[in-house]
Structure 1
Amino acid sequence: MPVTEVTTDAENLIMTVVADLAASVDRVWNAYTDPEQLNRFWGPPGWPATFTAWDHTVGGRAQYTMNGPRGEKSSGSWEFLAIDAPTGFEVLDSFVDDEGRPLEGFPAMRMTFAFEPTAEGTRMITKSHFDSLEALEQVVAMGAIEGTKMAMAQLDAVLQDLRDFAQGKGTVVELLDDTHVRITRLVEGPRELVWRAYNDEELMRQWMLGPDGWEMTECVIATAPGETHRTSWAPTGDTEGEAFGFEGEVLLVDAPRRAVSTERMIGTDGPETLNDLNLYEEDGATLITLLIEYPDKETRDMILATGMAEGMESSYARLEREVLADPVR
């Protein structure tokens, strides 16, 4: 995680974020001044940002919206006050409505971004200046410190070539906090086909099987918010184990990039998880990111202990081998 320090100074009304990044100043500058790259890390996991306007000139404005997993939205704007490429820039950051008008009751802050070369790459120092102690405390209470750390943890993947960052690592499980787990897997294949593999019954039955010795006995795919999905598996031959399945409701679909749904084991009252699937393609490879929200730490640990990650790795390997490797699809 690149963030090394987040501090608040109540006397001078400043929140400071320090991050050490394994990339050159020019590369970091590019990440912060290209809206397509900012989309990948400005919002924390579960709240990805989309920059909808971008005028990177002094006096120009940028606007973005962070989209929550249940359809929630939080929008902001930057007014560029100063630009000194490639070592820094300054903006007035405001909470805004869909039309870009400042929201009443929410503070604006002046933010400075500074990029300094180090022996290992770049040190980024971001300072947010507030007009009052109440404004600083309000932003902190809204989760700014935790959200910033989680958002910045996504930056390493942006600064590196995607294959250099993820190829050969297999299925990676990260514990973000007591209730959130991020699972990533790079697969060789285009995003459109990976999306189809998640949304086409014939394709799903070919790869989403977990370890060898299991078959999918039921596959009801949901492709729109409000629809319900249902998937079941059973052992075959001499494989030990009991049949099981999951069901839930689709909450959000942004094809072919993102789908959010609830999930619970069939025949039980829960616990229910929130599964946030994101697909990002670069140079013919797709990074699959699944953010899972559990109701509590005990449920998180119980489910991870079932061997879920190992089963997912078997499925992803099968996805590459039996679906993505077929050029006619």
Structure 2
Amino acid sequence: MHRLSALDRLLPVWIAAAMVAGLLLGNLIPGLDDALDAVAIGSVSLPIAVGLLVMMYPVLAKVRYDEAGQVTADRRLLITSVALNWIAGPAVMFTLAWVFLADLPEYRTGLIIVGLARCIAMVLIWNDLACGDREAAAVLVAVNSVFQILAFSALAWFYLQILPRWLGLETTSAGFSVWTVAVSVLVFLGVPLLAGYASRTLGERARGREWYEARFLPRAGPWALYGLLFTIVVLFALQGETVTSRPADVARIAVPLLVYFVVMFAGSFALGYRLGLGYPKTTTLAFTAAGNNFELAIAVSIAVFGVTSGQALAGVVGPLIEVPVLVALVYAALAARRRLYPREFAT
């Protein structure tokens, strides 16, 4: 297994500490929510917007956009990944949200939005730890990024309005706006995606790929964690009363998330094994299908439903569950490698 820095190895600790800090700030500083709302862009507070953009940029700056052809040429991997991410993943989360949170519509909607936000961030870390195919992961991240810009708002409309109506279920409130969702995706994904692409293109053109990846990325990379932790502190400061007064609700949000990660990872890994993709690509397929882009889900939920909404809380709970579960799945993948791919493990 590749060795992470102390900063990354202690990621669950940092996230837990950020949550505790946010709760303390929310309880100790009266009127904090009003102060944050006073500095806003539309319905999103400026501090949260800054945190989200800082969090997204370093990950997208790591992608080797010029190597997309190598992965897109592998039709089995590409088609399987797209199907898992954009058909299976949202459908599984929709089902789990209704099974576990049928009586809690705000949390249910938040989870459905999480299911639509496919992973483009932490998956690179989990994939690297599990000895997956690094280049395949980077390209699939790029593919997911493009798909999210093109398809997220349409899928949100389908899963929050159209499909529930077809099934005779309750739809999301009339305040839901597909246009607001589309704008949120363009801002919180499109802006850092363009920035990441531009920095890699200009950086490699000026100083070369070796300098960019050996010197620039190590300096930019930690800012993704800083942005995540800052955003969690602010969100938990705003959600502190809900979290402390409704621990049972937080636990109910956590259960379908846990089931989702395990089901998507195990199913995707088994599918990759049956398709004969080999361990590195099978692992990449599983992690890219199981992970979710909580950053984008949080941004969309805040923009559409408000910073103190139940939808935003569902997104905030996500990283707390995702980090320890996917770390455990890294070890599960490595154990499966020893058992299912003995020749590859020996090399």
| TM-score, scaled relative to structure 1 | 0.23
Which structure is richer in relative contact order (CA contacts within 8 A, separation 6 or more)? 2
> Which is greater in Rg?
1
Question: Which of the two has greater strand per residue?
Answer: 1
Question: Which of the two has greater helix per residue?
Answer: 2
